Amino acid sequence: MQEKILAKLQNNTFVKLFNTDSENFNVIKNIYSKPDLIDEKIFEFDPDKKLESDEWFFVEFTQEQKEKAITPFFSLFDSSVSGNNIEKEDYPDVTAIFLGKKDSREEEIFLTRIFPRFYTVKKTLITWNREAQLENKSASIDFNGILDAYWDGEKLYFQSYADIKPLFEGIEDFYRVATEEEKNDFLEKDFFESEDITKVKAGKRNLRKIAFILEQIDWDNQEIRKQYIDYAKQYPNVGVKLSETEDKMIIDNNKDLTGVLAILEERIYKTPITGVVKEAVSTINT
């Protein structure tokens, strides 16, 4: 597995901090450890929820979202890319420092947000070592090693949305929920049937999914619609109900809506050995 300690800059490029064979690399690497992600301590991101100090939010990306938010962090893992070492002039522009790990099947990110206040310009200090002394300190970054975000290859975990928002492109999709008008616009698409859309009381999780899906699907493309219908037929356990003509999905309540959204997000798959139908959270390129 490749391991790199990199910095993200304000212009959304990445530079290497330490070579893997350096002592500094191992010092930084050993600072990071996986957070304690037990079920009772992790929650799907909800802007209205207040976390305890040992609790974490998580978000699950579609493949398209992952390519925008996560894939750039591994851009320097391509063996064809050389150089890209940090330069002196880069230090004021560092927005994050992270340990990345990646092989053909797994990937991880341990990330620390670097705020402007963490950057120290060159200064002269008066220190004490048996007597007063002057010490010249060059420009530097105060690295505290606090884990602000952790990517386990499937979910992105964090404790403060405000801290990570500037670092992961598209993360704001998880903050916005569909308005009542957008929800009704979605349900009134002629791809769906509903006895009474006012009875479909979507929760915040589904409203966030609707806000994203509305902008992603070409609703007039009949071939794409047919592919979604075939996909729903392939996984009947999801519970998506179809019209008599089998060209529309039926949404009469929030349970129906949840199943339809799972199909539209293309998250359903069957495990190759046991044949168990599961809902994926992301796809890792191999």
Q: Tell me, yes or no, whether 284 lies in a domain.
A: no
Provide the pLDDT confidence category of residue 205 given band limits of 50, 70 and 90. Answer: confident
Q: Tell me, yes or no, whether 286 lies in a domain.
A: no
What residue has token string 């619609």? 225
Shared-domain flag, residues 161 and 184:
no
Shared-domain flag, residues 14 and 75:
yes
Shared-domain flag, residues 256 and 158:
no
Question: For the segment 5-60, what is each residue's pLDDT rounded down to a tens digit?
Answer: 999 999 999 999 998 889 999 999 999 999 999 999 999 888 878 999 999 999 98
CA distances from residue 77 to 74, 114, 151, 249 in whole angstroms, order as listed: 5, 22, 16, 42
Q: Tell me, yes or no, whether 114 lies in a domain.
A: yes
Shared-domain flag, residues 151 and 226:
no
**269 touches 277 (CB < 8 A):** yes
Shared-domain flag, residues 165 and 184:
no
Which of 196, 193, 198 shows the shortest CA–CA distance to 260?
193
Whether pTM exceeds 0.85:
no
Single residue among 137, 155, 174 that ends a domain in this structure: 174
Shared-domain flag, residues 150 and 195:
no
Shared-domain flag, residues 188 and 67:
no
Single residue among 111, 139, 174 that ends a domain in this structure: 174
What DSSP string describes 95-131?
EEEEEEEE-SS-EEEEEEE--GGGEE--EEEEEESSS
Which of 115, 123, 127, 16 shows the shortest CA–CA distance to 75?
16
Query: What's the total number of domains in the chain?
Result: 2
Which of 208, 162, 207, 176 shows the shortest CA–CA distance to 57?
162
Single residue among 151, 174, 197 that ends a domain in this structure: 174
Task: State which residues form the domain around 31.
Answer: 2-174
Provide the pLDDT confidence category of residue 286 given band limits of 50, 70 and 90. Answer: very low
Shared-domain flag, residues 123 and 190:
no
Shared-domain flag, residues 251 and 236:
yes
Beta strands in the chain (DSSP E): 2-9, 14-18, 42-44, 56-60, 94-102, 107-113, 119-120, 123-128, 132-137, 140-141, 149-151, 155-158, 192-193, 241-242, 249-250, 268-270, 277-279
Residue of higher predicted confidence among 2 and 282: 2
Residue of higher predicted confidence among 272 and 202: 202
Shared-domain flag, residues 31 and 95:
yes
CA atoms of 252 and 243, how far apart (whole Å): 12
- Whether 137 shows a pLDDT value over 80: the answer reads no
